[in-house]
Amino acid sequence: MKAGTAQRVVLNLLSTAIMVRLGRVYRGMMVMRPTNSKLKRRAEAMVARIAGCSEAKAASALSRTGGNIKTAALVVLGYDLAEAESILLSHKGNLRRVLDNRS
């Protein structure tokens, strides 16, 4: 392995580990900000997969939440917007904790 490739692999591992530690990875999906059309499509697919809904419903929830993937997933699951934001805040933005504590 050349030095540049090895360095890139190490940096990718480090950044992934940091994102996992910060709670920004859910079931192998890294939560990001959908800032372009490719990321918007990816966000729709992520919300649909997390919430078990269609991508059209996920797109609608994403537009209601300003592109926030975690909040959109909770909105699709039946929370209203304010409640979804509040519960995420109380769980320090960790979607896994919110979903694990659902009754």
Q: What is the pLDDT of residues 36-78, one digit of tens each?
A: 999 999 999 999 999 999 999 999 999 999 999 999 999 999 9
Residue 90 confidence (pLDDT) above 90: yes
pLDDT value for 74:
97
pLDDT value for 1:
62
- 80 vs 23: which has the higher pLDDT: 80
- Burial class from Cβ neighbours inside 10 Å (0-12, 13-18, 19+) for residue 17 reads exposed
pLDDT value for 65:
97
pTM: 0.82
Residue 97: count of CB within 10 angstroms of its CB:
14
Per-residue tokens: 4: 């540049």
Tell which CATH classification among 2.40.170.20, 1.20.1260.10, 2.40.100.10, 1.10.8.1080 matches the domain 3-100. 1.10.8.1080
Domain residue limits, the chain = 3-100
pLDDT value for 84:
97
- Burial class from Cβ neighbours inside 10 Å (0-12, 13-18, 19+) for residue 88 reads buried
Q: Which residues contact 82 (CB under 8 A, 6 or more apart)?
A: none
Query: Which DSSP category does 31 fall into?
Result: -
- Per residue in 2-33, pLDDT (tens digit) is 778 889 999 999 998 998 888 888 888 888 89
